[in-house]
Copies of this chain bind each other. A is one copy, B any other.
Amino acid sequence: MSGSCFAEHLKHFVDLTSAEHDALVRLEDAQRALARGDILQRQGEPIDEMFVLKHGRLMSYVVLDDGSRQILRHYYAGDFVGTSNAVYRCSSVTIVAVDAVTVCPFDKQGLRNLLEEHPRVAAMMFALAQAERVALIDRLASIGRMPAKGRVAALLLDIHHRNAMLHDAVPASFNPQMTQEEMGDATGLTSVHVNRMMRELVDDRLITRSGPLVTIVDLDRMKRIGNYVDRHRDLDFSWLPAPRR
C-alpha cells in the first residue's frame, strides 16, 4: 500500500487536506523491517530519528540500574513512536518489536519540515502528545494508588480497548499477547502475583480464560475495580486551525 498509516490514524480525528496528506506520505518514504525481538532504539544510546509504525506491534520500556523493567506502552499501526527523541539526544526508553514490524523512520529535519510547513499537523502532533501524556497519567495513578487486582484489571481493559479500536469493533475475546512476566512489568507486580490476580478475576466472575484468550464477562465491575476512564469519548479536536487549501 502506498498510503500513510499516520494519515489514516489522523483521519479518525480530522479531515486532511491533500497537501497535508502528501507531506505525511512523504514522511513514510523510507521503511525498515524488524523481526520479533529486534530493538528499534536502546535506552541511553544516541538517536536522532522518530518513527511511524506502519505494521505490527512495538513495546516501550525503561530498565533501572538494578535490572528491573517498567513497561510503558504498546504501539500499534499508525502510532507515532519515539517522539521523546525530538527533545533528547539520547533515547530515554527502549523500544522493541513484539511482532514482525515495519517502521518508517525520519529524522529531526523531517519533523522540522513537517511542523514548519503544516501548522495544522503541528497542532495535531501537539494534541496527540497530550493524549499520550494523559495515558501515562492514567497508568501512573493505577500503579501508584491501586491494589494489584485493580491494576491487572486496568491493564486488561486497556488492552481490550486498544484491540477494539484497532478492529473498529468490540471483540468478545482477545489475546493480550504478553507473558504474565510482561504484564507484571507493566503493572509494577511480579509475574507470580499477576497470575494470582488473574485467577481471582476468574473466581470473581469478572473474566474467563481459555488458553491465551481472555474474555471480559462483567465489563461494569471491571471498570469499577480498574478505575477505568474512557478518554477516547471525550476527545476534542474541533479547535484545530482551519485547513489551508
| Cα of A222 to Cα of B68 in the assembled complex, Å | 18
Is the Cβ of B231 less than 8 Å from the Cβ of A88? yes
Shortest distance between the CB of A113 and any CB in chain B (Å): 8
Could you say which of B64, B133, B237 contacts A133, with CB atoms under 8 Å apart? B133
Say yes or no: A141 contacts B87, CB within 8 Å. no
Q: Contacts A64-B141, A140-B143, A188-B143 hold; do A122 and B129 have CB atoms under 8 A apart? A: no
What are the residues of chain B within 8 A of A187 when measuring CB–CB? 144
Interface size, chain A (Cβ < 8 Å): 59
Q: A74 interface residue, CB < 8 Å from B?
A: no
Copies of this protein in the complex: 2
How far apart sit A88 and B230, CA to CA, in the bound complex (Å)?
A: 11
Residue of B nearest to A118 (CB): B119
**What is the minimal beta-carbon distance from A159 to any residue of chain B, in angstroms?**
17
* A234 close to B72 (CB less than 8 A): no
> Taking CB as reference atom, which chain B residue is nearest A236?
B89
Partner of A70, one of B119, B128, B141: B141
Please indicate which of the listed interface residues A109, A119, A140, A240 has the most CB atoms of chain B within 10 Å of its own CB. A140
Contacts of A197 in B (CB 8 A): none
> How many angstroms between the C-alpha atoms of A64 and B120 in the bound complex?
35
**Cβ-based interface call for A131 (8 A):** yes
Q: Which chain A residues in 125-141 approach chain B with CB under 8 Å?
A: 125-134, 136-137, 139-141
Task: Give the shortest distance, in Å, between A211 (CB) and chain B (any CB).
Answer: 28
Q: Which residues of B contact A241 (CB under 8 A)?
A: 112, 115-116
A sample of 6 more A-B contacts (CB under 8 A), given A72-B140, A86-B126, A136-B136, is A72-B137, A83-B130, A87-B127, A87-B131, A129-B133, A140-B140
Top-9 shortest CB links A-B: A144-B188, A108-B239, A129-B129, A70-B141, A122-B122, A116-B241, A136-B136, A68-B145, A70-B144
